[in-house]
Structure 1
């Protein structure tokens, strides 16, 4: 992992050109995942319902859900299931790749525009951090529309928007989305996407790996079924008011900049805000430090467990806009 991190930080390689070693959790961590899933199922189901109802109210019922791999994949499936169970709508659903600094999978967009009306496509992701993918999507879609005369809408629908980066969300609370606790074993055994010119030419789809050797550990279906089973229970509490305050303030960026300055971090790319992004730092990257708002908050128990396992110090900052922030270790060349 250190060699890969060094290559990425030096600029000699891009993070999408290779796959990290996927962390395989021990029994203690897996037990914690199952506990978290059980405790947060209603909250997660309610957020799925909220964002799906907002999308249907604003974009209509003849829509196509397109998840951004990989965090957006289970969320898009759950949104599709909500529409089916609550409205008898059988919505098409795809997953496609977008890579920070490299853009979106243009071949996938071409496929979508050939088979569907681009104006009906709704892009879906799991959560926002500091909004890098939100900005990447907006730029990539604008460029694609300009070059190809298509009418894709760059708006992003997410389950959780703690960074206040989007208008369509299930919640703005920085709460633990259970699927963020694991890697491929909660994402259909599919890796995060790969874009490497040695293996993929410009006319091909972005790549991914299927981890067939992890089939016995796959929890993807169980995660989806657990959340879906709570839909009818949470349905009465879902708001259908699309006029609620959904202003985008990008307030989370202020926290990122302050943390960056406070810890002498050279690039905001090394600051990963929010529970989802902090989890990714611990599972995929070379973590340097974790900063939490509340040292005993139950929503980041798994993060404290991972930090302990990897000997990563945890600091407390009550002024955080997020529940926690993960800091990547800078490797000096």
Structure 2
């Protein structure tokens, strides 16, 4: 019998409960991981590389972004909190935020703070795994509904941003499958709704903005996400267990996770909600069209066959630079402050950079197609 229980990483238990299984695993190099992905030897979720501590120079850039965007992010989180409470209604029944590991984790922790402290609504925050082509963690959802006893009609999925909309589609598709299985057993169903801070793909149900900007938590990895890795799903995960993760305890001295939550939350009292415009539905539709058009253009310009090799938006471009093998960095304006950290990473990794002012987002990274002789 599995003993399923949350872990907390480096967060306060009130801020986040991870429904993940800590594992110790073999680390691969980024290059070897990329080779196995592209040859179909292994799914990306089966492998992981060891995350290094960010350099002092890179942390200085993170600090600059925090100074620039702490107030903006606080305002957008509070705006989103107000929208969710208005949509779901005040109630003695808590709202349950279920963030998607791991980009959604800091967003979910901040959103819980705003809902409980400024909207007067009880709220809990869990963080669970969803994996492209593998779906959402059904064991974690079962735990929430059958063990934690959350109200499925007051459950909201949370991510920090959308890009191409791949995870949004994965979430909706897999939740339809999950709900169908629940219905067949006569069990309660989950209303699938996704809330994000920045909806540059125009695919979320609730969002504070459609603008692409350097959300500070999007430029670091585990050291701003509770020291937890992205989720892992391989033979080490027992049947019925939560998806896996690595906890990077060795990075504790470089950890900014809880400090980041406190820093943004400290800006909450200074937010003037009435001065924030909110997001119109027309903006979301327009953003969808712009994203689709630009992705098509990029595929044509660079003869890219696999759309999964195109990663638009500052945050997604950063993830490629940190976790994949990049072929090219495209920026809308090389002088814009939001891409400074990307240009630094490109220089360190000898990745070519081009400017394209047509893009409706600040940056886009292209993943390198590994040469056949390199992967055999």
Residue 18 of structure 2 is matched in structure 1 by none
Residue 206 of structure 2 is matched in structure 1 by 168
Q: Which moved more, 1:136-145 or 1:29-38?
A: 29-38
1:86 aligns with 2:127: no
Deviations 1:50-77 (A, max 9, x none): 2111111112244211100000001000
CA distance 1:50–1:194, change in 2 (3 Å):
same
1:157 aligns with 2:187: no
CA distance 1:153–1:164, change in 2 (3 Å):
same
8 Å contact kept, 1:275–1:300: yes
Which of the residues 150, 158, 178 maps onto 2:216? Answer: 178
2:133 & 2:265 partners in 1: Cα distance? Answer: 35
8 Å contact kept, 2:82–2:119: no
Residue 22 of structure 2 is matched in structure 1 by none
Residue 9 of structure 1 is matched in structure 2 by 38
CA distance 1:229–1:17, change in 2 (3 Å):
same
Which of the residues 99, 106, 113 maps onto 1:67? Answer: 99
> TM-score scaled to structure 1, two decimals?
0.95
CA shift at 1:204, angstroms? 0.9
CA shift at 1:245, angstroms? 4.1
CA shift at 1:306, angstroms? 1.0
CA distance 1:243–1:3, change in 2 (3 Å):
closer
1:108 aligns with 2:147: no
Which consecutive unaligned segments of at least 5 residues does structure 1 have? none
Q: Which moved more, 1:241-250 or 1:297-306?
A: 241-250
Which of the residues 199, 204, 212 maps onto 2:241? Answer: 204
Residue 309 of structure 2 is matched in structure 1 by 270
CA distance 1:68–1:123, change in 2 (3 Å):
same
CA distance 1:291–1:257, change in 2 (3 Å):
same
CA shift at 1:332, angstroms? 3.0
Which of the residues 284, 292, 295 maps onto 1:256? Answer: 295
Residue 130 of structure 2 is matched in structure 1 by 98
CA distance 1:319–1:239, change in 2 (3 Å):
same
> TM-score scaled to structure 2, two decimals?
0.85
CA shift at 1:330, angstroms? 0.6
| 2:195 partner SS | strand
CA shift at 1:300, angstroms? 1.4
CA shift at 1:241, angstroms? 6.9
Mapping 1:307-326, distance limit 5 Å: 307-326=346-365
CA shift at 1:20, angstroms? 2.3
1:147 & 1:206 partners in 2: Cα distance? Answer: 19
2:244 & 2:275 partners in 1: Cα distance? Answer: 37
Mapping 1:125-136, distance limit 5 Å: 125-136=159-170
8 Å contact kept, 2:85–2:119: no
CA distance 1:97–1:307, change in 2 (3 Å):
same
Which of the residues 192, 195, 203 maps onto 2:230? Answer: 192
1:39 aligns with 2:62: no
8 Å contact kept, 1:257–1:268: no
Mapping 1:282-321, distance limit 5 Å: 282-321=321-360
CA-based RMSD = 1.6
1:223 aligns with 2:260: yes
1:167 & 1:265 partners in 2: Cα distance? Answer: 30
CA distance 1:237–1:222, change in 2 (3 Å):
farther
CA shift at 1:84, angstroms? 2.0
CA distance 1:42–1:4, change in 2 (3 Å):
same
2:300 & 2:219 partners in 1: Cα distance? Answer: 28
2:100 & 2:361 partners in 1: Cα distance? Answer: 22
CA distance 1:238–1:201, change in 2 (3 Å):
farther
1:27 aligns with 2:66: no
2:272 & 2:143 partners in 1: Cα distance? Answer: 34
2:136 & 2:122 partners in 1: Cα distance? Answer: 26
The number of residue pairs the alignment matches comes to 332
